[in-house]
């Protein structure tokens, strides 16, 4: 796929494709032994940059809210975030390319039998500021009992201290955290399906349309599934627009 100069200028008005990475989502991005970014988002970004024949620069953030809140500051061009109507006010999303479950990690002292019982009980539940699951949970029953923390580390510290009865997060991350907390449980069913997509800042219509078509094509050709499997995520989690 060969891009035009106009398309390139919309994607990368400064000459380099600046891609925001959210390190708060450990499923999509991490670091190697040399602290360089690696993961699903990184591979997708490199594939896009190669297709456009543009140099690539990663702009790294620790939280999703830091990515979404900086969309109007001209510090990045493309990002990877979960689809949410609030975020769509400042960025244009593609169709989702992967589904990730949102689940509660219940503390050993929490006796809720499942996710619905947890919400009905009215106990405090920790969540992370600006995350896709927080934005969703704030619109659901039980929102009044959420305690919002600056990052996952503060949320898990609150869970360990007994300040909250459960913590909300990405299912596989909550499972990993539960393994180091004897007696804790990841509750069923998932409280949401987190639909991850690529996105570009608003008011770049040519690039936005191209990105939507591009991601859909990668999904249909199985290339998204290949990237997911390479990083330990089941191919069945891929979504085909």
Per-residue pLDDT tens digits for 171-200: 988 999 999 999 999 999 999 998 999 999
pLDDT band at 3 (very low <50, low <70, confident <90, very high): low
Has residue 27 got a pLDDT over 90?
no
H or E element: which one contains 59? strand 56-61
Assigned fold of 5-98+196-237: D-Maltodextrin-Binding Protein; domain 2 (3.40.190)
Q: Does domain 100-192 have CATH number 3.40.190.10?
A: yes
Residue ranges of the chain assigned to CATH 3.40.190.10: 5-98+196-237, 100-192
104, 174 Cβ separation under 8 angstroms: yes
- How confident is the prediction for the chain on average, in pLDDT? 94
Q: What's the average model confidence in pLDDT over 199-218?
A: 97
**pLDDT for 125-172, tens place per residue?**
999 998 888 988 999 999 999 999 999 999 999 999 999 999 999 898
pTM reported for the whole predicted model: 0.80
- Say how far apart CA 147 and CA 167 lie, in whole Å: 9
- Say how far apart CA 146 and CA 134 lie, in whole Å: 9
- Counting every residue, how long is the chain? 241
Residues 6+ apart with CB under 8 A from 237: 98, 99, 100, 228
**Tokens matching residue 108:** 């050993």
Has residue 241 got a pLDDT over 90?
no
Beta strand pairing call for 98-106 and 192-201: antiparallel
Could you tell me where the DSSP H helices lie in 85-233? 115-121, 132-137, 152-161, 171-179, 205-220, 223-230
The 3-state DSSP class for residue 208 equals helix
* CA proximity to 207, closest of 15, 75, 77: 77
**pLDDT for 35-61, tens place per residue?**
999 999 999 999 999 999 999 999 999
């Amino acid at each position: 796929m060969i891009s035009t100069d106009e398309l390139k200028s919309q994607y990368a008005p400064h000459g380099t494709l600046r891609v925001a990475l959210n390190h708060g989502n450990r499923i999509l991005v991490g670091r190697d032994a040399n602290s360089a970014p690696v993961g699903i988002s990184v591979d997708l970004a490199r594939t896009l940059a190669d297709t456009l024949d543009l140099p690539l620069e990663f702009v790294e953030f620790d939280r999703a809210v830091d990515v979404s809140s900086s969309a109007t500051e001209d510090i990045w061009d493309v990002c990877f975030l979960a689809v949410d109507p609030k975020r769509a006010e400042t960025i244009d999303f593609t169709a989702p390319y992967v589904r990730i479950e949102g689940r509660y990690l219940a503390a050993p002292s929490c006796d809720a039998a499942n996710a619905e019982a947890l919400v009905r009980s009215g106990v405090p539940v920790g969540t992370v500021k600006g995350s896709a699951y927080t934005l969703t949970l704030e619109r659901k029953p039980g929102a009044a009992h959420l305690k919002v923390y600056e990052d996952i580390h503060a949320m898990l510290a609150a869970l360990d201290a007994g300040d909250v009865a459960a913590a909300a997060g990405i299912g596989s991350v909550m499972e990993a955290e539960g393994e180091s907390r004897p007696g804790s449980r990841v509750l069923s069913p998932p409280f949401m399906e987190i639909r991850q997509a690529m996105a570009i800042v608003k008011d770049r219509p040519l690039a936005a349309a191209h990105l939507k078509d591009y991601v859909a094509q990668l999904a249909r050709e199985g290339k998204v599934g290949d990237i997911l499997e390479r990083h330990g995520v089941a191919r069945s989690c891929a979504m085909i627009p």
